[in-house]
Amino acid sequence: MDFSRPELFDFQGISMTKYHTDKWEKIQNFQARPNDIIIASYPKAGSTWLSYILDLLYFGSETTHIFRGTEMLDKLPTSPRLIRTHLPVQLMPNSFWEQNCKVVYVARNAKDSVVSYFHFQRMTLMFPEPEEWSRYLQRFMKGKMVFGSWYDHVNGWWKKKQSYSKLHFMFYEDMIEDIGREMDKLCSFLGLSPSAEEKERIIDSVQFDEMKTNDMVNFSGFVKQMNFKVSSFIRKGKVGDWKNHFTVAQNEEFDEDYGEKMKDSTLQFRTEV
């Protein structure tokens, strides 16, 4: 593989790479439509899972209608457009708010997020070299990650929810615990009414063992940018895998730092289910 990894740099106060900012003017000038649906999250928080659920709810097919770029969106007849992003809330194009678009944000606890992001960066050549685990964990705590600080990201979107009524906030741990229940809440927010049969079919399709073997979901087509010998894109889909990575000392340091950074937040996460 001759795909060179990018360097991290400061972009409007957020750590980013040129891969994610090269076409920034087009991103910021993007024209949203009122029926666009935005799927937002910090990386490795369950947005692929949520995207697939929405794809099946709206289109009922195995063909993905999730768009990550903005260049081709205006030419697409697909409606609604399901637009996935990892941008922090302050960098979102203004047209999404002007058009009053619906947003679904999914958040995952910090410990499992950093573990999943670590393995993702190990196999994804579009991101900087993660180096070894202990150094990576320190960078995560300092917010030196592509798309910035986990703490700022989840709190920024959580704060937006308080003033923007068309934002549905979901938790990865709740989805793991009872995907049917969380799908019902999602459908209520979106105004969808799938039949019991449709709902059961979707639940069966979005189990992790099914998604890991689905080429439309597991990114297996991105052979140049991803090294699947290092890790799979959809790895475990578990709550609590952090226990297999954190040492006792790392956990204590992380908890102390977490308590300080989240002391003014009303967000509550579970690290076990």
Chain segment 182-237, per-residue pLDDT in tens: 999 999 999 999 999 999 999 988 887 665 555 555 455 555 665 555 555 455 67
Averaged pLDDT of the chain: 87
252 inside domain: yes
Count of domains observed in the chain: 1
Q: pLDDT band for position 60 (50/70/90)?
A: confident
Range in 57-61, 82-86, 111-115 the model is least confident about: 57-61
In a domain, 268, yes or no: no
221 domain residue, yes or no: yes
| Sequence-ordered list of residues with C-beta below 8 angstroms from that of 201, at least 6 positions apart, any chain | 56
Query: Residue 243: phi, psi to the nearest 5?
Result: -65, -20
- Looking at 20, 65, 86, 245, which residue is catalytic? 86
Q: Looking at 92-211, which runs of residues are DSSP E strands?
A: 102-107, 167-171
**Mean pLDDT confidence for 99-108:** 98
Judge whether 83 and 150 are in contact, CB under 8 Å: no
Domain membership flag for residue 103: yes
Helix%, strand%, coil% for the chain, nearest 5 = 45, 10, 45
Choice among 53-57, 152-156, 162-166, 246-250 with the minimum mean pLDDT:
53-57
Answer yes or no: 168 catalytic. no
Distance in angstroms (rounded) separating the CA atoms of residues 199 and 57:
8
**Residue 77 domain-assigned?**
yes
> Per-residue pLDDT tens for 116-134?
999 999 888 889 999 999 9
Query: Is residue 135 one of the residues assigned to a domain?
Result: yes
> Residue 152: inside a domain, yes or no?
yes
Q: Is 42 domain-assigned?
A: yes
Q: Find the domain containing 168 and state its range.
A: 9-261
Please report how the helices 110-123 and 133-142 are oriented relative to each other, as an axis angle in degrees rounded to 10: 120
Residue from 3, 27, 150 nearest 83 by CA: 27
- Can you list the positions of beta strands (E) in the chain? 9-11, 14-16, 37-41, 66-67, 82-85, 102-107, 167-171
pLDDT of res. 107: 98
Its pTM surpasses 0.95: no
User: Domain of 251: which CATH number?
Assistant: 3.40.50.300
CB 32 within 8 A of CB 97: no
